[in-house]
Every structure is written in structure tokens, then in C-alpha cells.
Structure 1
């Protein structure tokens, strides 16, 4: 089924008072489609995929070790999403912090990892992978005032989808680093956006290979006032890397937020139709 259906699904939201940027690519055939895919928008925590990709790269090269302890400093602590700031245990490893970041978008874990590797290294990795407009501007903050970047991260649907496509193809610096990122993404607990209307088993084995008659999903979401983002891969008969970003004026109220979430879920339904369930091997 052609990915042109994805563009049609995105255009159903054209009358809504929001920007809906969408991009998807078949990681085998290279077929792609979307709309507003090169519009730079705030992407919230979906950009944490870039940070996790850099940590995965360093684990692969031996610059970091999974069991390496990482001190969580006072300056790392942030509210919002996550568990670490609410737990009593004082010591965590690199692997722990990555799983917390991927699974529950832990802001404190994110800040500790970002301090460990530096924003400059994420920028170099983005350039290396051809993600020219995906940028981490700052650490996660509870409040943003004068003198700090207005948002945590910006990017495009194309760049976020390309990052996940690299991971699925095994070309995100190395096959091992790619597999590690996908493993972390599989632990994500937020399936309320693109995967919400996709019938899938989040704990099924075999990922990223398709399973007969099923769909598999790995993703990372982002949520901020006026922003909902989701980047990941739907695996069925086809493997489709995708990203969806919705952006709107918060003054429009909660009805626009609900419309944005509905539009993103509609994109997910279309992605599932285009991917199709995994086929039973012949014989």
C-alpha cells in the first residue's frame, strides 16, 4: 500500500489551527511521503533520541561502559516526566539512565546523560547522520526565563524519521549502537500518540524483525505546551520509520490539544495500514 495515503491523512488536518508535520520512509524500499516534513518545530522530548544515539555510540566504541556509575547532581534534577527524582536510590549507571530516559522520558536522567556527553557531541552526531535541523539547545529546565533557550530542542519530522531509519537499518554509526537504541525505544511506556490505534504487542519478541500476523512498534514521544511529537518505527510486512510533530498556539485551549492528539493517532492508523501485518514465511 502506497505511503501516499499518509500525505492524504495528514492533509485531513489542514483545516485545524495547528501545524502537523509528518514524514515516513520504508527502510527497505526507500519510498517516503509526508507533509511539512522540513518545517523546524519544537519537538520536546522526542529529541532525546539524539542524546540516546550518542550514548549508544559511545557504549559501542568503549568510551563509556553500561555499568559505569553516573552521579546525579543537584543541577541535573528536573520535574516533569520521569521517576528518578522521586526515588531514594543515590547511584545509577549509564545503562540505567538510558532506560529511564527512553521508558519514561526521565528529565533528571536526561540531564545527567547530557552533562556526561555534552551537547556539542550530539550536534556532531547529528551532522554525521545528516540530521541538519535536529538540535538540542539546552538541558531540561523546570522554568525558562531570560538568558536561556526558549525550548529544549527543535527539529523536523524528516530528521527524526531519518534517525529512526538509521537505527532500523543498522547504519546509526554501527549495527550494535543501532540495536541498542532500538532496544531502549522498545521499553517506552507512552503509546498514547501514534501507537494508540495500532493493534500491537509492546512486549512481543523478535523486534525489529516482523512477526507473522502482527505489528510491532518502537517509539519516543515528546510533550510540551503546544507540542506533541512521536518518532519511531512500525514493523509489519514493511518497516516504516516515522515522525509526527503537532504544534499549536496554547491560547487556543484544550480543544486544539485534543484535535492534535486525534490527528496524530489518525496518522498512526494510516501507518499501520501501510505497514501491514507481518507475513507468514512460505513453507
Structure 2
């Protein structure tokens, strides 16, 4: 097992050992990529190891998936778990988070009225997913659209918010936040043509784990914006990946009876699963992100990817409790 090099951005990590990862590209390059991409063997000193997570991720890598993971302790800022976390990968709806940050900042500054009513028909319909398309209400206020975007990843709500703030403002916000490997490339579409961006959004596990850590520490734009975005995301109802290990109620988990703080956002596309968030318990708190790109050839391939998220969730719960 080769050690992580200082150039990989892990100078302060107490984790000296690593294991291989692999790309989701051709099988002829997999063995070479597994030797160049590294996932750590152990967790932070004095904490539980992430042995089961590493085994699950190694299995995905051996099957040809591309894996990127980053876990950081909120108090010590130690990199608890990290591998290929600098790699830019498709993240699906996880890329909505910078948009929500820009929307919250526009609400606070007065550039947008949170109670402005917007017609659903003001953007092209998206029939492949979403909640609003099933509702009777033909129009909603912008603040409700932000809630729909955060809790259900509603594509029509996201597209309207993107139209209201403008793509350039979101790009500037991402740059202002110091995110160099993250981009919201396009709106949601039922079909992507040759002139459309191939992905809704891309990003790295390191940047998204850091972004969520900054949100709960009131360091994104200012305390008010951080609190607003964290509040929206705390209502997220997709607890099927990492969050499946928390035992939280998907529909009512913003005030957990056992004092568990949990904020997250997921992203999904064909062959893409991504999640980033913050999990805090009585012993510790972490910011985390896991991105997996895999060949979605069968339900077995998909479930194997989902299981890796669940295993990470179990070991994050052990770490924080």
C-alpha cells in the first residue's frame, strides 16, 4: 500500500496508508488507474476505522466504478477519510446547493422578493421527475420553490430559480466561494441534445464536504445566508443513501429527539450517485461527501453503489456517536 503524497492535498492527514481506486472508463486502463488513485486504509487516529467503507469502495472500484470520498472532522478539521477527493465528477442535483446559496443571498439583499409569485409554465416542462408537476397549484412564491428544490430536488423549481438569479450570478458565487472544481452547467432537461451540457453539474468530494462544513459553521456568505440554506437542506427528504443509516424520519428530521444534527443533499443521474452533508452527534461532527459514477447495467450494479453509501453512513454514525 502506497502512502499519500503531500502533493495530493493531505499534508495534515494522520492517515498514512491507502488502497487503490479505479475509473469507470475502459477496462484496459483500470489496473493502471487503480495504482494511481488512492483511498486511505485507516481513519483518524483515536477513532474507529472505516474498514467496511473502504472494502465497499474498493469493491466498486474493482468493478470499474469511479469513486471520490471526503470526510472532515468539524472540530479538528482533520481529514478523517479521503480518496480521489480532488477529482471533478458529475454530481447531478447536488449541484443545486450553490444555486440555493445565491438565491438566499438575493433574498437577504433584496435583489429577489421571496414572496414573488412565479408561474410554473414560465419554464419548459420537465416530465421525468419532480413534485410540482403533480400539484394543482400553477404558481408558487420563490421561497416555496427554494424549499421544493432543497427537499425534493424539483427540476421545475430549480430551473425557475436559475432563471431568476441568472447563470452568471451562480457562476460568480461559486468562484467567490473558492470552489474551483464545482460548476452548475445547465438546467434540468428531459433530454440532452448535442448542444446541451452533458451534465447538470460537476464537483469534487473535497469541495462539497467543505461547503457543507462551512454552511453549518455560518461561513458561507454570512451567518444569515448560511442559516437559511442549512434550514432548507435540513428538510431534504432523500435519506436513501448515506442517511439511510441514521434512522431519521425522512419527513420530519430537522428536530431529532436524540439530538442528531443532519443536513444533506443528494444527486442522481444515470450511473451517478452523489451525496454531501453534515452529521453531528454527541461525540463528534463531520462534513462528508461521496460521489460514485458506475455502469448502471442492472439493478445489481445500482444496489452495489447504494450499499457503499449505506456502509459509509453506518461508520459515520459510529464515528459521531
Q: TM-score, normalised by structure 2?
A: 0.79
Residue 245 (str. 1) matches residue 291 (str. 2): yes
Q: Which aligned runs of 4 or more in structure 1 are off by greater than 4 angstroms?
A: 204-207
Residue 131 (str. 1) matches residue 131 (str. 2): no
Residue 230 (str. 1) matches residue 230 (str. 2): no
CA distance in 1, matches of 2:236, 2:253: 14
What is aligned with 2:15? none
CA distance in 2, matches of 1:6, 1:25: 13
Q: 1:42 aligns with which of 79, 90, 110?
A: 90
Q: 2:166 aligns with which of 108, 111, 118?
A: 118
What is aligned with 1:188? 236
What is aligned with 2:310? 265
The residue correspondences of 1:1-283 to structure 2 (distance < 5 A) are 2=44, 5-6=49-50, 9-16=53-60, 17=63, 18-32=65-79, 33-200=81-248, 203=252, 213-237=258-282, 238-250=284-296, 252-276=297-321
Q: 1:29 to 1:96 in 2, by over 3 A?
A: same
Structure with larger Rg: 2
Contact 1:27 1:168 in 2 (8 A): no
CA distance in 2, matches of 1:23, 1:35: 7
Task: Name structure 2 gaps, 5 residues minimum.
Answer: 1-42
Q: Quick one: higher RCO (CA 8 Å, sep 6+), 1 or 2?
A: 1
Contact 1:79 1:107 in 2 (8 A): no
What is aligned with 1:280? none
Task: Name structure 1 gaps, 5 residues minimum.
Answer: 277-283
Report the CA distance between 1:262 and its aligned residue: 0.2
CA distance in 2, matches of 1:5, 1:120: 42
Report the CA distance between 1:258 and its aligned residue: 0.8
